[in-house]
Amino acid sequence: MKILCIGDVVGEPGRRAFREVVPGIRARGEAQAVVVNAENAAGGRGITGAIAEELFAAGADAITLGDHTWDQKDAGAFLSRERRAVRPANYADACPGRGWAAVATPVGTIVVANLLGRVFMNPVDNPFHAIDRLLAGPIPRDAPVLVDFHAEATSEKIAMGRHLDGRVAAVWGTHTHVQTSDAKVLPKGTGYVTDVGMTGPADSVIGREVGPVVRKFLTDMPAKFDVAKGPCELCGCLFDVDPATRLCRSAAAVRYAVP
Ligand SMILES: [Fe+2]
Ligand SMILES: [Fe+2]
């Protein structure tokens, strides 16, 4: 099973890149299932039901989120009804939505889980304990498990990969919007990459217009960071998962330029 996990879609430019690239990837058989992080898909902040439909129509099988999950006001209602979209599992149980989902794809059911890191981020429950509880309990054992770990620190993400090695098909990082060059299969068979990178404007500071971000660092004054324009990149990681073992045969970072 060739499963493409795509990094943070940023605003309308990122959605355009997704719409232009993903249908071709699927048509050519380069990926048979697609998971996409869409926490920045709505103007850079959060997601809406309409935007989720746009991504599903363009070839997403499942959507993951992150620290921007609640930025749009209909996020709670959307996550309560849409079972193909997951929010971090280590948010409070009282939050709307689910931290994992079993999703049907053309190559069979996959389980997609989402976790949020705690290093250099706002406080949340322990993500290591959260995924252990899911794997010990509700997550079905007969489908490959794919984990989007939305986190800032490389050490926390590598540690999560090692913690889950041999227990899930793949762990990939999102949130930094910068692709790392460490895609690999870990010793016990889990596919891993520290960050898949973003899907959005290439001429930017992690998806935002350059000028205001640089000014902010020069002045420390409050500033509005609009989503940048122009040519985009679509970044992700392709995991080849063996349906028999539910572990990973190969992991390769991918990046598509979208003029
Ligand atoms: Fe994030
Ligand atoms: Fe992001």
Please tell me the number of the ligand nearest to residue 206's CA.
2
CATH superfamily ID and name for 2-258: Metallo-dependent phosphatases (3.60.21.10)
Write down the pLDDT at residue 206: 98
Straight-line distance from the first to the last Cα atom of the chain, in angstroms, rounded to the nearest whole number: 29
Nearest CA among 215, 237, 232 for reference residue 224: 215
pLDDT in tens, 242-259: 999 999 999 999 999 999
Tell me the pTM: 0.98
Whole-number Å distance, alpha carbon 142 to ligand 2 midpoint, is: 31
Residue type, 73: K
Percent of the chain with pLDDT over 70: 100
Write down the pLDDT at residue 42: 98
Please tell me the number of the ligand nearest to residue 38's CA.
2
Give CA–CA dist 175/198, Å, rounded: 8
Q: How confident is the model at residue 166 (pLDDT cuts 50, 70, 90)?
A: very high
pLDDT mean over 2-30: 98
pLDDT mean over 106-131: 97
Residues 35, 62 contacting (CB under 8 angstroms): yes
- Cα diameter, the chain: 56
Strand, helix or coil at 74?
A: coil
Q: At what angle do helices 127-136 and 154-164 cross, to 10 degrees?
A: 20
Write down the pLDDT at residue 190: 99
Write down the pLDDT at residue 129: 98
Whole-number Å distance, alpha carbon 28 to ligand 1 midpoint, is: 30
Write down the pLDDT at residue 181: 98
Whole-number Å distance, alpha carbon 242 to ligand 2 midpoint, is: 29
Locate 32 and state its tokens: 């048979």
Q: At what angle do helices 49-57 and 11-27 cross, to 10 degrees?
A: 30
Please tell me the number of the ligand nearest to residue 150's CA.
1
Whole-number Å distance, alpha carbon 185 to ligand 2 midpoint, is: 24
- Ion ligand 1, residue ranges at CB < 5 A: 66-67, 175
Please tell me the number of the ligand nearest to residue 44's CA.
2
Write down the pLDDT at residue 51: 98
Q: How far is CA 254 from CA 19, 93, 130, in A?
A: 16, 35, 29
Write down the pLDDT at residue 46: 98
Whole-number Å distance, alpha carbon 241 to ligand 1 midpoint, is: 26
State the residue for tokens 């689910």.
Answer: 98
- Ion ligand 2, residue ranges at CB < 5 A: 8, 40
Whole-number Å distance, alpha carbon 175 to ligand 2 midpoint, is: 4
Whole-number Å distance, alpha carbon 245 to ligand 1 midpoint, is: 31
pLDDT mean over 94-112: 97
Whole-number Å distance, alpha carbon 244 to ligand 1 midpoint, is: 33
Please tell me the number of the ligand nearest to residue 8's CA.
2
CA 57 to mean position of chain CA atoms: 18
Q: How confident is the model at residue 162 (pLDDT cuts 50, 70, 90)?
A: very high
pLDDT mean over 59-80: 97
Locate 228 and state its tokens: 């940048």
Write down the pLDDT at residue 124: 97
**Residues that are catalytic:** 68
Write down the pLDDT at residue 176: 98
Nearest CA among 35, 30, 25, 70 for reference residue 196: 35
Residue 89 sits at φ, ψ, to 5 deg, of: -70, -20
Give CA–CA dist 184/64, Å, rounded: 21
Give CA–CA dist 106/153, Å, rounded: 34
* Mean pLDDT of all residues belonging to the chain: 98
Write down the pLDDT at residue 114: 98
Write down the pLDDT at residue 211: 97
Residue type, 60: A
Write down the pLDDT at residue 103: 98
